[in-house]
Amino acid sequence: MLQVSVLRANPEEVKKRLAVKHFKQPALVDTIIGLDDERKKLQLDFDTAQAKINAASKEIGKLMAQGNKEAAEIMKAEVAGLKTSLDPIKEQMNVVEQTLLDTLLQLPNLPTAEVPEGRTPEENVVVREGGSKPALHEGAQPHWDIAKKYNLIDFELGNKITGSGFPVYIGKGAKLQRALIQYFLDFNTAAGYTEYLPPFMVNAASAMGTGQLPDKEGQMYYMPEDEFYMIPTAEVPVTNVYRDVILKEEDFPVKMTAYSPCFRREAGSYGKDVRGLNRLHQFEKVEIIQIVEPEKSQAALEEMVLHVEKLLSTLELPYRILRLCGGDMGFASAITYDFEVFSAAQERWLEVSSVSNFESYQTNRLKCRYKDSNGKMQLAHSLNGSSLALPRIVACLLENHQTAEGIQLPAAIVPYFGSALIN
What's the CATH number where 311 sits?
A: 3.30.930.10
- Asked whether residue 136 is domain-assigned, the answer is yes
127 is known to lie in a ligand binding site: no
Check: CB of residue 366 under 8 Å from CB of residue 143: no
pLDDT top residue among 218 and 1? 1
Say yes or no: 398 and 314 in one domain: yes
User: What is the value of pTM for the model shown?
Assistant: 0.92
Alpha helix stretches (DSSP H) within 162-293: 172-190, 204-209, 235-239
Q: Is residue 109 one of the residues assigned to a domain?
A: no
* Three-state DSSP state, 4: helix
Give pLDDT, residue 292.
98
Residue 249 is labelled as binding a ligand: no
What value does the CA radius of gyration of the chain take, rounded to a whole number of Å? 27
Answer yes or no: do 236 and 88 share one domain. Answer: no
Distance CA 108, CA 334 (A): 9
One domain for residues 139 and 52: no
Q: Are residues 141 and 257 in the same domain?
A: yes
- 27 CB contacts (<8 Å, ≥6 apart)? none
pLDDT of residue 269: 47
- Answer yes or no: do 99 and 208 share one domain: no
pLDDT (tens digit per residue) in 97-127: 999 999 999 999 999 999 999 999 999 999 9
Sequential DSSP letters for 162-185: T-TT--EE-THHHHHHHHHHHHHH
> Does residue 115 fall inside a structural domain?
no
Which residue type does 54 have? N
Q: What pLDDT band is residue 67 in, cutting at 50, 70 and 90? A: confident
pLDDT computed for residue 267 by the predictor: 54
Average pLDDT, the chain: 95
Q: Which of 33-42, 52-61, 291-300, 303-312 has the lowest mean pLDDT?
A: 52-61
Q: What is the mean pLDDT of residues 1-19?
A: 97
* 316 is annotated as contributing to ligand binding: no
Query: Which CA distances in Å does 290 have to 293, 313, 372, 414?
Result: 10, 22, 18, 29
Q: What percent of the chain has pLDDT over 70?
A: 98
Please name which of 391, 370, 390, 395 lies closest in space to residue 380, comparing C-alpha atoms.
370
pLDDT, one tens digit per residue, over 206-241 is 999 999 998 788 899 999 999 999 999 999 999 999
Q: Look at the chain and report how many structural domains it folds into.
A: 2
Same domain, 152 and 100: no
Task: Tell whether 333 is in a known binding site.
Answer: no
**276 and 379 housed in the same domain:** yes
CA distances from 225 to 203, 206, 218, 229 (A): 12, 17, 17, 11
Specify whether 360 is located in the same domain as 306.
Answer: yes
φ and ψ at 227, to 5 degrees? 60, 45
Among candidates 408, 350, 352, 333, which has minimal Cα distance to 110?
Answer: 333
Residue 65 sits in a domain of what CATH number?
1.10.287.40
Q: Which residue segment(s) compose the domain that 262 sits in?
A: 121-422
Residues 99 and 129 in one domain: no
336 torsion bin: left (phi>0), alpha (psi -120 to 50), beta (else) = beta
Report how far apart, in Å, the C-alpha atoms of 387 and of each of 27, 194, 284, 326 are.
38, 14, 11, 23
**pLDDT for 385-420, tens place per residue?**
999 999 999 999 999 999 999 999 999 999 999 999
Residue 353 is labelled as binding a ligand: yes
**Does 354 show up as a binding residue in the annotation?**
yes
**What's the mean pLDDT in 124-140?**
94
Same domain as 128, residue 92 = no
323 shares its domain with 203? yes
Asked if 253 and 327 sit in the same domain, the reply is yes
| 219: in domain | yes
Is residue 114 in some structural domain?
A: no
- Domain boundary residue, one of 76, 104, 132: 104
- 109 marked among binding-site residues: no
* Residue 287 in marked binding region: yes
Residue 113 within any structural domain of the chain? no
**Residue bearing the bigger pLDDT, 28 or 59:** 28
Domain boundary among 104, 138, 171: 104
> What angle in degrees, to the nearest 10, is found between the helix axes of 27-65 and 11-20?
140
391 in any annotated domain? yes
Name the amino acid, one letter, at 169: Y
Residue 382 counted as domain residue: yes
Domain boundary among the residues 104, 138, 172 is at 104
